[in-house]
Structure 1
Amino acid sequence: MMSLETLLQKMWVDYCELNPAAKRIYDLFVAEGETVINDHIALRTFNHPRLGIESLARQFKKYGYVEKGDYTFVEKKLYAKHYEHPNEDMPKIFISELELEKVSPFIRETVNKLVDQLPDSVIESETFAMAGRPWKMTYALYSELAKESEYASWVAAYGFRPNHFTININKLKKFSDIHVLNDFVKSKGIVLNSSGGEVKGTKADYLEQSSTMASEIPVKFDDGTHNIPGCYYEFAKRYPLENGKLYQGFVAKSADKIFESTNKQK
């Protein structure tokens, strides 16, 4: 089994290849003398019997990750869990799934057909979290899925890979205030997700978050190459609980808006 550090590095490289804007942002902070630490990595899937959160969590559990919290997103028909490693320097893993029993028969049938093309060997691979798209996919089908669920269309188009990485604001020196960080990012011409406000959450929630809007990138489909939203970069500032320890969970109403970072920009 490869080391956890190797897996996380491979996931970062895959993420940056899909999302060059993230590497640019990372480099901007490094150029400012910052050490960029990752707060969490987010993954997406479907709650199909062969998939679901557990199919992605399994590999991380082998490295010692433990389930800590779960979250429900009624409007988007999503359920999620987050996992933490005993070594607090390791990023948290946030895994969400589309609840297929709550979507239209069209999406359910489409997902079933896609998953039928997925070999067990891919699911069981130690690099399943960055396996990419393992099925045939057309842009026409992607577009139809997107009309009902942006989330479903994203997973159908990209498969299994990091949806976003997250800069840990608490570890930054010059940008320890999320508003200062947001202004810096925007000054470089980068568009932030403004759904529900640029900053999601408050100090009272023990977590403030912001994120970029995913850049559109060329994706090869069976019916041609088309530009669609890829991945985004998130920024998280955590606050101490009454016991003095930083809050390590997530806030559902904030995460609900963060999901929209992969929406197509109008």
Structure 2
Amino acid sequence: MTPDSLFTALWQDYTTRLCPSAWRVHELLQENEPLINDHIALRTFNLPQVGLEIVAQPFLRLGYIAKGHYQFEQKMLRAQHFEHPNPKLPKVFISELEVNRCSEALQKIVRSLVSHVKPDMVTDVDFLYGGRLWPISLEQYYLLAEESEYAAWVAAHGYGANHFTVSVNQLSRFNQVAEVNAYLHQHGFVINAAGGEVKGSPELFLEQSSTMADRVVVEFDEAELLVPGGFYEFAKRYPMANGMLYPGFVEASADKIFESTHHQR
């Protein structure tokens, strides 16, 4: 598999299973050239069967290189981003829940779910867009959501890109992330307002925003339920002192982007 075919498969899964509204965003923002995808993000648990290192392996085999490390203390997450020597390929942001820091009740549920994962299930690249690798009950989902919406999201959906990201730098109709937000508001999209609709600043070399996640149908043991799925992000990168666009991520901004998949109260 090539990087292009992997991202095509991830996009197909993302737009059919996790974020069907992404096609509408695409239509609204598409100009003369194909939209540039700044990065995708994937989520997991920090357990041996499925940890960040496991999720990263297919990208490393395709030539991606590990870059920045990030810590989200309040959410009990750690993350790392990866870049390809070909700058035209999207960055990859992988996060994991530090299960060992959570309550015993959460740990018990998550370890039970992940016990279903055998090594051969995460060997081939297709697990990255294969969805959930375990059965889950509604009770388990609700208990996880009470403590960690991130845990509940991974437990419900499994593996797939929780977001793709439009590079605002590419757009000619819009120069600012705030302009993209306003345009999407006009077309009925809800923008994640946690920490402000625009997260980051030119001084931090990165501005980001995102839609709130689509509500999608997930099958649980007892019944189907509408739960938050994927969302679409928008990022503008600014040049550093050396003239190169900032390649990393800003922890404070990413912390709020995670909340795009929270239940809307």
TM-score normalized by structure 2? 0.98
Q: How many Å apart are 1:33 and its aligned residue?
A: 4.3
* Amino acid in structure 1 at the alignment position of 2:116: Q
Q: How many Å apart are 1:205 and its aligned residue?
A: 0.5
Q: Which residue of 1 aligns with 2:203?
A: 204
Q: How many Å apart are 1:186 and its aligned residue?
A: 0.7
Q: Which residue of 2 aligns with 1:151?
A: 150
Q: Which residue of 1 aligns with 2:176?
A: 177
3-state SS, counterpart of residue 207 of structure 2: strand
State the Cα RMSD in Å. Answer: 1.0
Q: Which deviations, in whole Å up to 9, do the C-alpha atoms of 1:178-215 show, x marking residues without a partner?
A: 11111111110000000010000000000000000002
Q: Please tell me whether residue 252 in structure 1 is matched to residue 254 in structure 2.
A: no
Once the two structures are superposed, the pairs formed by residues 64-83 of structure 1 within 5 Å of their partners are 64-83=63-82
Q: How many Å apart are 1:125 and its aligned residue?
A: 1.3
Q: Which residue of 1 aligns with 2:29?
A: 29
3-state SS, counterpart of residue 260 of structure 1: helix
3-state SS, counterpart of residue 208 of structure 2: strand
Q: How many Å apart are 1:35 and its aligned residue?
A: 3.2
Q: Which residue of 2 aligns with 1:121?
A: 120
Q: Which deviations, in whole Å up to 9, do the C-alpha atoms of 1:144-171 show, x marking residues without a partner?
A: 1000000000000000111111001111
d(CA) in 2 for partners of 1:259, 1:202 = 18
d(CA) in 1 for partners of 2:28, 2:12 = 17
Question: Would you say the 8 A contact 1:35–1:172 is kept in 2?
Answer: no
Q: Which 4+ residue blocks in structure 1 deviate beyond 6 angstroms? A: none
Q: How many Å apart are 1:128 and its aligned residue?
A: 2.0
d(CA) in 2 for partners of 1:190, 1:84 = 30
* Amino acid in structure 2 at the alignment position of 1:28: L
Question: Would you say the 8 A contact 1:43–1:160 is kept in 2?
Answer: yes
Question: Would you say the 8 A contact 2:106–2:143 is kept in 1?
Answer: no
d(CA) in 2 for partners of 1:33, 1:85 = 25
3-state SS, counterpart of residue 45 of structure 1: strand
d(CA) in 1 for partners of 2:92, 2:214 = 23
Q: Which residue of 2 aligns with 1:49?
A: 48
d(CA) in 2 for partners of 1:244, 1:154 = 38
* Amino acid in structure 2 at the alignment position of 1:137: I
d(CA) in 1 for partners of 2:223, 2:57 = 35
Question: Would you say the 8 A contact 2:169–2:237 is kept in 1?
Answer: yes
Q: Which residue of 2 aligns with 1:20?
A: 20
d(CA) in 1 for partners of 2:100, 2:136 = 22
Q: How many Å apart are 1:34 and its aligned residue?
A: 5.6
Question: Would you say the 8 A contact 1:68–1:83 is kept in 2?
Answer: yes
* Amino acid in structure 1 at the alignment position of 2:28: L
d(CA) in 2 for partners of 1:174, 1:33 = 11
d(CA) in 2 for partners of 1:5, 1:261 = 26
d(CA) in 2 for partners of 1:262, 1:126 = 25
* Amino acid in structure 2 at the alignment position of 1:192: I
d(CA) in 2 for partners of 1:113, 1:141 = 10
Question: Would you say the 8 A contact 1:193–1:258 is kept in 2?
Answer: yes
Q: Please tell me whether residue 237 in structure 1 is matched to residue 260 in structure 2.
A: no
3-state SS, counterpart of residue 179 of structure 2: helix
d(CA) in 1 for partners of 2:5, 2:16 = 17
3-state SS, counterpart of residue 218 of structure 1: strand
Q: How many Å apart are 1:21 and its aligned residue?
A: 0.7
3-state SS, counterpart of residue 117 of structure 1: coil
Q: Which deviations, in whole Å up to 9, do the C-alpha atoms of 1:54-94 show, x marking residues without a partner?
A: 10111101111001100000000000000000000000000
Unaligned runs of 5+ in 1: none
Q: How many Å apart are 1:129 and its aligned residue?
A: 1.2
d(CA) in 1 for partners of 2:114, 2:170 = 40
Q: How many Å apart are 1:119 and its aligned residue?
A: 2.2
Unaligned runs of 5+ in 2: none
Question: Would you say the 8 A contact 1:67–1:83 is kept in 2?
Answer: yes
TM-score normalized by structure 1? 0.97
